[in-house]
Structure formats: structure tokens, C-alpha cells
Structure 1
Amino acid sequence: MSAWNQALDAAGIRDPGLRDDYTRQRELTARFKRSAYLAARFLLPRPLFPHVMAMTAFMHHSDNLLDSGAKEERAAAYDAWERQVRAALATGGSGHPVLRPVLHTLGAHPRLRGHIEEYLVTARADLDFAGFATEADHQAYVDAYSLPAFLLVACLLAPDGDGTEFRAACRTFIDAGQRLDFVNDLAEDLADGRLTIPRETLARHGVTREDLEQARDLPGTRELITAVLGQARGTLADSRPLVTIVPAPGRPLVRALISFDELTAAAAARKGAGLLTAPARPSAAGAVRVLLREYARARRLRRAGAGGTRPGLRPRP
């Protein structure tokens, strides 16, 4: 039996049609950030892995609707999607292949409902995104969109309790990751007409949008990239307490995700102004070392009986 089928069994997903739905969403998710997918595949407890795939697929599907096409088309598509999601939450049923796994996962992890409803309310912030004037605008975007989207998946790793400390640590991590993506994906975002670094930050370094769009390797553009990467790396370091906040079975994955971002930040720093033409890619060898290190830790946890034993990580009957 394949490891994926074993994970479906461990998660209590028995219905053949539902297994097909989860499998389809896993295949779609694997095409996005491959390193994160592999980390989830090898580091998460088996009963949790299919649920993480379902919620990651839901997040990607929603994000694609918000990002693809003219604004009017995106708004109409998201309106229709929001109606479908709310109807599914209200009735407990859906014919949509993305939503059927979400509903099953919601039955196993009821606290997801609040995060889905929060995301539905805040996701529209991405429809109106036109860049940031100030750092405060960046922070507002993190609160309005990045954090609720991240919590759709991250809440599956949350400890029991009110979650205040967990949410704050998640916010620090996603703030760092969002800023890192913004600077690393500058060339792609600018080509799509999106300037994701605050205009006040550009002005502070004497850089114009045209300088970035024309990929001008100037002292100011190099200083700008160094400064933004420095912010991202500093915030990423501040997110390390998240590792100890999540229950033990989730810690190898959280450590791996932070390490992957650190590798990306290091590669971006080496590339410097080259980010104006293409993003940096983290070291493949470094990513493999991270996976091997955390896989060894995850195996030790499982041998000790810690993996997947907390009630919140088990599917409910």
C-alpha cells in the first residue's frame, strides 16, 4: 500500500470518491511550492497530512480566483466562490471537488470553521491590492489577507487553548515570508503591474518604480534590496518561537519551513540586484539537508510514541 493510501487510512478517509477528491487536491498542491509539499509529506503525522493537503488546495484555489484576470472578472469569480463555500458550510454538503475534502476535514477539525469564515471576510483585500504607500499599509495587508490565508492551514498545527500566542507567532512568520516573497518576486510582480515594496521605502533609498521596472543596477536599488531582505531575515529570526509553541508532532515541519525561507533569503542576498530580472532559488542541497535533519527528528518522535498522539491531530469519529 502506498504511503498516501496509508495516510488516507490513518485520517479515517474511507469513501472511495472522497479519497479520489483528496488525492486530486494533493496532486494539485504538489505543483506549487515543492519543498513545502515534500516537508509536509515526510514530516507530518500521517493522520494530519491529508487534511493539510485539503486546506492548502482550498487556499490555492481561492488565491487563484483572486489573482487571475481583470478585476471585474476576479471579483465576480470570487463572489460566486464565496457563495459556494458559505452554502457548503451551511448545509454540510457540496458537489465541488475542492470543497468536499474541506468539509470532511472540518468534521475532523471543527475549529477550522472560524478560520474559513474569517478568510472569506478578509480575502477581498487582495482584490483591491494596488501596492503599498507605507510600511503601515504592508502591515495592514498582512493582517487583512496574509495571516487569515496562512491560518487556514496553520491552525491544524495549533495547540489547544485560546491560541493568542500561536496566532501572534504565526503573524510574525507570515510577515517575514510575505516580505521575502515580495522582494524575491519583484521581477514577476512588476511584470504583472504590481509594486509590492512600499513607495516610502523606495523614496528612502532614492529609487523609482521605473528603476525597478528597467532593472537598473544602481547603488540605490542594491541598498533597497539589501534593506528589505534584512527586514525579512530579522522578522524570520523573530518567528523561531513558533517552533516551541506548536505541539511536538508539528515542530519538524515548522523548523523546516523557517529553514527553507532562510535558504531563500540567503540566495536572494547573493543575487542582489539580479532579483530585478529573476527570483533567487534556494540551494537544493541545503533543502535536502533540512529535510533529512527534520525527518530524523520526526522519526525519533514517532518511535517515542509522540507523533500524532495529541487528540487535536487525530480525525474524530
Structure 2
Amino acid sequence: MRAFVQMAVCLVSFEGHPRPGQSGLVLVGSGIAARPGSRTADEGIRDMRTWRRCLAAAAVHNPSARGDYAAAARYLRRRDPALYAAIRLLGWDEYQPHAISGYAFAGFTDDLCDHGTPDERMRRLDRWHEHVRTALASGTARHPVLRAYLRSVQDRQMPHRWIHAYLEGARVDLNFNGFGSDADQQAYIDQLSWPFAMLTADLVHCGGGSPRYARVCRSLAEAWQRADFLTDLHEDLRGGRLYLPADALSQHGVTRSDLESGTNSARVRALVCSAADVALAAARESAAIIEEMPVPLHALNRFAVRLAQQRLEQVKVLGAAITRAPVRDYPAACLKLMTAAYCEARRTRPKQLAPTARAARAVPELETKNLPTAGTAAVRPPTPPRDASWEPLQSVGDDETRHGSTRSGTAGDARGNQTRP
């Protein structure tokens, strides 16, 4: 119960990313390093008892592999504490390390493209893509966050198509010039938001999900992406970007200057409500994802759908005010959603005995009745030393890899707060 209270407070009260230096870790070009006096490996995870249980459930027993997952968890916790809290509270034990490694990998990729000129960001993305491609082919990597995700991909026998699709899709946002129509917005979701969602969603079912599963994941990705276009409207306008289609503005008689100036008019309110209604329709359609998931993941996905709906209803209430300030969640409403989801997760979570030291050494087969099981991973080459550097990222610099994204919220888009089913 204490863990629930701590994480729930984090989820409902966090309104921004940590300030530089707030965490005991610093992301550098060659990987993850500890600040003087900070703890390393598993010791950096506060909720150690449940974290070790999750690693055991996912059959992660090797100390080096556990260190890689701990690095991914620490990175995600400081980059997006609310998302980390939701996974830890509501996620199925066996799936938690995989989900965390997937979101950490996607977040790190996004952070590489978050600063600098378009040409600089494109060069960093190209180098990272080549490194990921080599890692997928060889079965090992020199970056701890990538090593953790690579192990999840191997263990769950995940096809590589969504990884390559996401890395290719990340290019579309580097030279973004706006949407002319809703078709352009849909293409953006197909190229970037949907592959982002599948980086973790395709780890749920061993060998990847069915075509229907991918389609409902696409609906949830669209709902969250459209919600973020609205909740981040104020910040995007300040950054010189507008993610609402030009034809939608014309249809409602709204100009970009109306939005930038924060005009409180009936036309702007109608535009906002219309965009929110389209997103709500996608959210309602995405509710089908719950039945496509194993029972222990119903609570997490139901929470994701309901939170998206709650935010969109809040956007409709705020109307034109979303052009003047970022949209923040109501803590009491979020806590109510989280409490209901947590109670459901507790009821449906498989009963597993806490592994003893002897059991951990024996690598036991944990009870997973009626649940999809992880595939047998291929034999991997030995992992390089943990302090090995990765030269292509040396030019990224501390700012891009140390502090993470500057956006806020529990979920976002492929621009910094990417969609999260």
C-alpha cells in the first residue's frame, strides 16, 4: 500500500520534467553513468522488492542484464515519472521490464532529436539508427538502454519491422511544416505515433500480435496523439509549431494568429471542441484493445483509455483557454482513475511466489497459467563491459542525453510526449 500511495502521488502531482541534476543519474553520450555517491545497478530502483519480483517473472536473472534493465528504469523514471508510476502500479509483473525498456528506448531516441538544428538532429538520428540496426543484427549493443530493449525483443520474439518503422518515422518531425488536412495528420500518426506505440505493444504477445491487435493499437495511438495535439497546443504555438490541420482552421474561420494571441471566441471554442470530438471517437474505438490483452494487462490499458477520454473532456470544458496555458490533469480525478485501476490490477494479477536466492539461481519456471509465455531467446554474444563507450553518440553532448524531454504530462506524442498505450 505504501508503494501505491507514493506512486499515485507522483502520477497525480507531477507537472514537469525534473530539473537538471535532480536525479542521481546522468545520461551521457557513451551511456548511463552515476553521479558521485549515487547507487548503481538494481540499487537505484526504490521499490526493490517488487522490481526484483518483476525481473524474476520476466526470467531476467543475469546480473548484467538486470543492470541494463535498471538503467532503463532509472532513465524512464526521471524522464517521465508518471508513466513509470503507471507501469509499476498497474503492469503485469512479467511485462513490466519489457514495457519499461521499450519506453526508455523510444524516449532516448526522441531525446536525440530534441535539440539543435534539423541537420544536427538528422545526423544524430542517422547514427543512432545505424547503431540500432547493427545491434538487431548482431544480438548485442554497447548502450545499456538499447541492450535492455534488445533483450526484450529477443525474449518476446518481436518482429523488427516496428523498430525500423519508428526510426524512419522519427524523421517526419524534424522538418515539420504543419498539416494541410486531416489526411496529413493521419499520415503523421501512421508513420510516427503508431510505430511508437508498437515498440512496447508488440512485446505483449510472443512473436508479435495479430493484424486486428495492431489496428486497435493504432486507434489508441491516434487517440493519445490527437489528445496531445490539443493539451500541448499552447506550448507548441510558443515553439512555432501548430499540429491542427489548416483546413480545420479554415472551416471554423480561425486563423493561426487567433490561436497565438489566445483569442477567446466562439470560433476558437468550436474548433477545439470539434478536434476533441474526433479524438474521443478514436478513444472509444480503442477500448477494444482491452479484450486483445492478457487479463493481467486489462487494468493498465483500461486506465490508458479512460485517462485519454478524461483529458479530452477536460479540453472541451476549457475551450479556447487551452491556447493560453498548458492543460493539466485534475489530481482528484486522476487519483480516482488510478485507484480503480489499481484495485482491478490487484484482483487480476497472477499469484506468484517471491523468488528465493536459490530459486533465482535455478531459473525456475514461474506459474503463468492461461497467459502467453515468453519465447526462448537465441544464444547471445557476450555483452561488452558496462563502461564501454559508443563513439557515434559522443557528439550528441550532455544536454541532449542528460535531461530528457522538456515536455510534461503522463502521455504525449511523438514530439516529446509520445503516445503510450
Q: TM-score range by the shorter chain?
A: over 0.9
In structure 1, distance between residues paired with 2:284 and 2:121: 36
Deviation larger for 277-286 or 101-110: 277-286
Selected match of 1:189 from 230, 236, 245: 236
1:115 counterpart = 2:162: yes
Q: What secondary structure is seen at the aligned counterpart in 2 of 1:157?
A: coil
> What RMSD over aligned residues (CA atoms) do the two structures have, in Å?
2.2
CA offsets 1:81-128 (integer angstroms, 9 cap, x no match) = 001101111111111122110121122111242321332333322223
In structure 1, distance between residues paired with 2:62 and 2:177: 44
**Contact persistence 1:172–1:238 (CA under 8 A):** yes
**Contact persistence 2:300–2:341 (CA under 8 A):** yes
Q: Show the counterpart of 1:165.
A: 212
Q: What secondary structure is seen at the aligned counterpart in 2 of 1:241?
A: helix
CA offsets 1:225-273 (integer angstroms, 9 cap, x no match) = 1111111112211211111122222211110101111221122222221
- Judged with a 3 Å threshold, the aligned counterparts in structure 2 of structure 1 residues 315 and 49 are, in CA distance, closer, same or farther, namely farther
CA offsets 1:169-217 (integer angstroms, 9 cap, x no match) = 1111111111110011011111111110001111111111111111111
1:232 counterpart = 2:279: yes
Mind listing any 5+ residue stretches in structure 2 that lack a counterpart? Answer: 1-47, 353-366, 378-421
1:278 counterpart = 2:325: yes
Instruction: For 1:18-33, list aligned pairs within 5 A.
Output: 18-33=65-80
1:299 counterpart = 2:342: no
**Contact persistence 1:233–1:265 (CA under 8 A):** yes
Mind listing any 5+ residue stretches in structure 1 that lack a counterpart? Answer: none
**Contact persistence 2:101–2:145 (CA under 8 A):** yes
Deviation larger for 278-287 or 147-156: 278-287
TM-score, normalising length: structure 2: 0.70
Instruction: For 1:148-297, list aligned pairs within 5 A.
Output: 148-158=195-205, 163-297=210-344
Amino acid at match of 2:160: R
What is the aligned-residue identity percentage? 33
Q: Which has the higher helix share?
A: 1
**Contact persistence 1:134–1:199 (CA under 8 A):** yes
Equivalent residue pairs, number:
317
Amino acid at match of 2:212: E
Q: What secondary structure is seen at the aligned counterpart in 1 of 2:329?
A: coil
**Contact persistence 1:207–1:221 (CA under 8 A):** yes
In structure 1, distance between residues paired with 2:327 and 2:369: 39
In structure 2, distance between residues paired with 1:299 and 1:155: 24
- Judged with a 3 Å threshold, the aligned counterparts in structure 2 of structure 1 residues 57 and 281 are, in CA distance, closer, same or farther, namely same
Amino acid at match of 1:268: V
Shift of 1:42: 1.6
Q: Show the counterpart of 2:27.
A: none
Amino acid at match of 1:28: Y
Q: Show the counterpart of 1:103.
A: 150
Instruction: Considering Cα pairs closer than 8 Å and 6+ residues apart, tell me whether 1 or 2 has the greater RCO.
Output: 2
Q: Show the counterpart of 1:136.
A: 183
1:47 counterpart = 2:76: no
Selected match of 1:63 from 107, 110, 115: 110
